[in-house]
Structures are given as structure tokens and as C-alpha cells.
Structure 1
Amino acid sequence: MKEINTLIENYKFKITIVKKSNQGELKKISESIKITREFLNQLRVYIRKNDFTSKEDEIIFFKYQKPIILGQLMYLSAKNTFLIEKPTTSISHKRNFIKKSLKKIEAKKKRNLEFFKYYTHNGSSLDDKYFIRGNSQLELFSNVFLLDKDPIFSTSHDIKAAEVIAYDLITKFYAKEILRLKQEENNSKVKIVKPPILNDLSWTGSKTELVELLYGLNAAGAIRNGQAEMKKLVEVCKELFGIDLGNIYKTYSEIKLRENEPTKFLDLMKNRLLQKMQIE
């Protein structure tokens, strides 16, 4: 039915606009749920006013078209609940929370395993029983949305089909969350890797003196035969001493402009070392 396809395209367009907006994640989900509920109601009104031209059209609608939208609503509702209820403590608590949520999904799948297999493998032999209205002798799915209490707008298994779609979406979402937690955990480990022996080190000279030292070491070929990148040496000092040297090239230019003592700090090092040697 062309009208239904037009409605679905309009729905997808509105949802895409929300996804691309600058709103927060929970706000986007809330807005998407509102749009999806309104759209399902539009579909319900349309189906009540218009007959299907054939059994095939009716099956397509209740097997694919409506379940895709209703499944999206179920997914959005589950995602919203997850983001609100997820723990904000340790990574392990967050991971355990996801695992428990996945177990609940798997338990529901097991209770309807035969239909899951039928739907995911695109079975068709029972379509006239599952997706044609009026087969009230078949057991209705327990988790029924209010809109689906309308016998004109529901069959015995269209909600089950929506559940299959929703479970697939939420499972993929959980997989991404677990991957994100893994990356977060790896980043934390990288920070912890810093040896404790480095924690108490601090540069007590001036930044200019440290820049002079780095250029001196590089000029003497003491680091990578003088081929070390100055940016890398700056990052090493930042990690080692917890100091940001800023624009070292500007500092180096200022050092070169010194008239009397261009290597002031290096000369000081030399003199102090000679004094130490004489005393000892």
C-alpha cells in the first residue's frame, strides 16, 4: 500500500532529524519515542479506515512494516531505561549491569525460541496464522502495548515479531556499550602504568632552563644521535615532570638572542659539577 510506505518514509525522516540534532542522548530518545508513538497511532487510524487489497498486503504489514516501527519503540524504551538505571560507579559494575540485561533478553528468546527461529530465518508457512487478523485461538504475546489491544490493528504474532527486532537492536547496543567500557578500561590502565618512582619527580628550574637543556642534549647527539624530535622530548618532560613547556621554539629563539651568556644554564651546570668534583 503506497500510503503506508509514504507514512513510513515520513516517520524515518523525522527520526533522522532528531538523531542529527544537538540534543542530549536522553532528550533524543524521549523525542524519538514520542514521534514513534504518534506514528503508530497514525497507522492504527489508517488501518481502521482502510482495508487491505489482499492477504499478502496484510501479511506484509503485520509481519514487517508495523513490527519494524513497534520494535523501534520497544528498543528506544529499553535504551531509555538502561541509560537512566545504569550504574555510575566502577566499570565492572557497569559491565555486570549489561550482562544481567542481556540475560533477561536471552531468557525471553528461549520462551519464544520457535518463533524467533521462524522469523529470523524468514519462514512463511505459518504467515496466514501469525499475521492475519482474527486468529484469536492463538496465544497472544504477554507484553502488549496499549495500541495493540485494538483487534483491527493487531494479530497474534505481530508484537512477537516486533520483539525479535527490538531484541536485535538492543543486543547490538549492549555490544557497543561493552566495547566502549573495554576502551575506557584500557585507557585507565595506560594511565596507571606510569611507574610510582616517577610520581615525586618535579623540575624545580625554570622552563627556559629545561628548554636549553633539551636543545643542548640534542645538539650533543646524546639522544638518538641528535635526531630526536623536539616535540617528542617536550612530551617526555611533560610526562616525567608534569610541566608544560609551551612554545619551545619561541623560547629557543629568545635563548639565541642572549648576548653575553647564550648557554647560561649549561654553563651553570658545568661550573656546579666542577665545584662538586673538587669538594668530593
Structure 2
Amino acid sequence: MKTEFKKIKTELEETLLSDPDVASSAETIKQAATLIEDALSSIRIDVVKNGFEDEPDEIAFFKSYKPELLSLKIELIYRYNLKLNEPVGTRETVIKYYEAEIKSIQSFFRMNSFHYQYFKNNLTHMDAVYFVRNAGPLALPTDDINDVDPKFSTPMSLLFAKFKGYESVQQFSLQQISSTGNSSSGTEPKEAKENMRWTGDSINIVELAYGVWLTGQLNNGNASLNQIVKWLEINLHVNIGVVQRRFIEIERRKRLSPTKYIDQMRDTIRQKIDRGNS
């Protein structure tokens, strides 16, 4: 189940998030939502038919795997509506629009603060209640409507999907503010306004992105590969392209190490250590 799910998730991310215009029209959103629903329907058939190996396997699915798929749909629809309703006006007007949306998302997190802290801190002591089917009502109910399919839902799986999706939308809103211009408040520190650009080979960024993703260094390991790549592209002003295709370039290296750049980083750090503090 775990291997099959990761394959489905990776295929969806490659299809959806690698295209910057995927949330640009109602038709593409409909197609994207259909892809996700088809994937969930396929997984549901397997879950209902074969169940899970044990309770930890069930918890892992409803705590991480299913919310990750649902969060893709939530993020795409949210982003589409954000761009659809983006005001036509000055730079300051657009910035205030996205700042207000960030405040709205933060308000949602505050309204669900107990469960959001459980999500953010990767706690586990209530997992048998939150992420096991037919576990009974929550001691502290959410203010949100949960899934109603008793064979394929748990009390908190939808809320965790919203946490994941809304965090991605929050990051998207910050990116829109960054691309529109500096904060309208004019109070950003000088360091934040300085442009840092990646001037090395873009293939090295691909090594870096995969290394960060595979070792789970961001958002407690919940940041997707495409989220990491987007962040690197925006903040370092570099165009990576479709990261999965660039990774094929690394896989095809014959005379060079697949991790040439990371190897170089390791070697230079070791040389620095060997030289001491000079």
C-alpha cells in the first residue's frame, strides 16, 4: 500500500504541480480534481477490500497518505479562486489582498489551534482516536465538517488535509506578495530586500532539492518536492524546469558521480575542517 500510494502521489505531483498554469482555469481545475478523485477511488477500493496490516498501518494512511492527496485538491482549488478574485489595481492593493488571505488562513489555524498544534508538532498520543476508523466521537470536536464515509475516513483526516493544503496556499500567497513587490509597510529590513541569486549550474539545485526532500528537512518532512523546488526558484531567482526531468539527467551520469555537487560540498567542508580555523 505504501509503495503504491507514493507512486500515485508522485505521478499526480508531476502532472499537477510541475505545471505553473494548472490552477489558471476552471477546466484545468476540473481535470486536476478528477485525477485526484480517481486516485482516491482506486485507493479506497483497495482499502475496503484488503484493509490494513495493523493499526499503525491504518494510522499512517489516514494521518499522512490520504491527507496528502486531499491537500493537493484543496490547494489547487484555493489557488484558482485566489487568482480569479485577485483585484485589478496598484501593487499595494494586490499585496493587501494576499496579506488579508494569509490572515484568514491563520485565523483558521487559530480556530483549530489544539488540533493544529497536534499536526505541527507531529504528536502521536491521540492517533488511535484521530486516525482509526470507527474510533468514536472526539473529546474535543472540530468546527469543521469531516468525511462521512465510515470505510474510508477518520475524525481528523480531512482536517489534516486542510492544514497541509492551507499551508501550501499560505506559501503561495507569500510568493505572490514577493513577486508583486516589497511589503507595502516599507519596514522590511535591508537584508530582506537584497537579491540573492543562484549563479551556479541549475542541475546542482536539483541535487540540493532532492537531498532536502528525501531527508525530510522542511516542515517535519511534509514539504513536497515541488514545494521545495518552487521555494528555491523564487528565492534564488533560478529556473529549474520540471524537476523530475532534470533528475533523469543526474541518473544518466556515467563518468561523473550522480551526486557530483553534494560530493563537492562534502569535500570542501572536510578541507575546511582539516585546515582548522584559518
User: Is TM-score (shorter-chain normalized) higher than 0.5?
Assistant: yes
For 1:32 and 1:112, locate their aligned partners in 2 and report how far apart those are by CA, in whole Å.
28
Q: Greater CA deviation, 38-47 or 164-173?
A: 38-47
**Matched-pair contact (CA < 8 Å) for 2:16–2:22:** no
Q: Secondary structure at the match of 1:26?
A: coil
Alignment map for 1:154-233 (pairs within 5 Å): 154-182=153-181
Q: Secondary structure at the match of 1:10?
A: helix
For 2:70 and 2:22, locate their aligned partners in 1 and report how far apart those are by CA, in whole Å.
23
Q: Residue 14 of structure 2 aligns with which residue?
A: 16
Consecutive unaligned residues of structure 1, counting only runs of 5 or more, are 186-280
> Residue deviations 1:163-218, cap 9 Å, x none?
21112111111110110011699xxxxxxxxxxxxxxxxxxxxxxxxxxxxxxxxx
Aligned-residue offset at 1:96: 1.7
For 2:16 and 2:72, locate their aligned partners in 1 and report how far apart those are by CA, in whole Å.
14
CA RMSD of aligned residues (A): 2.4
Q: Residue 233 of structure 1 aligns with which residue?
A: none
For 1:160 and 1:20, locate their aligned partners in 2 and report how far apart those are by CA, in whole Å.
25
For 1:24 and 1:54, locate their aligned partners in 2 and report how far apart those are by CA, in whole Å.
37
Q: Residue 149 of structure 1 aligns with which residue?
A: 148
Q: Residue 89 of structure 2 aligns with which residue?
A: 89
Alignment map for 1:1-280 (pairs within 5 Å): 1-2=1-2, 5-20=3-18, 25-27=23-25, 28-138=28-138, 139=141, 142-144=144-146, 148-182=147-181
Aligned pairs, how many?
180
Aligned-residue offset at 1:22: 8.8
In structure 2, give the amino acid aligned to 1:171.
Q
**Matched-pair contact (CA < 8 Å) for 1:67–1:161:** yes
In structure 2, give the amino acid aligned to 1:168.
E
Q: Residue 222 of structure 2 aligns with which residue?
A: none
Q: Which protein shows a greater Rg?
A: 1
**Matched-pair contact (CA < 8 Å) for 1:74–1:163:** yes
**Matched-pair contact (CA < 8 Å) for 2:75–2:168:** yes
CA change 1:44–1:94 in 2 (3 A) is same
Question: Which is helix-richer, 1 or 2?
Answer: 1
**Matched-pair contact (CA < 8 Å) for 2:33–2:73:** yes
For 1:130 and 1:108, locate their aligned partners in 2 and report how far apart those are by CA, in whole Å.
19
For 1:98 and 1:181, locate their aligned partners in 2 and report how far apart those are by CA, in whole Å.
10
Q: Secondary structure at the match of 2:128?
A: helix
> Residue deviations 1:225-262, cap 9 Å, x none?
xxxxxxxxxxxxxxxxxxxxxxxxxxxxxxxxxxxxxx
Q: Secondary structure at the match of 1:134?
A: coil
Aligned-residue offset at 1:110: 0.7
Tell me the TM-score normalised to structure 2 length: 0.59
For 2:153 and 2:51, locate their aligned partners in 1 and report how far apart those are by CA, in whole Å.
14
Aligned-residue offset at 1:44: 2.1
In structure 2, give the amino acid aligned to 1:33.
A
Aligned-residue offset at 1:100: 1.8
For 1:36 and 1:165, locate their aligned partners in 2 and report how far apart those are by CA, in whole Å.
16
Aligned-residue offset at 1:29: 4.4
Higher relative contact order (CA 8 A, sep 6+): 2
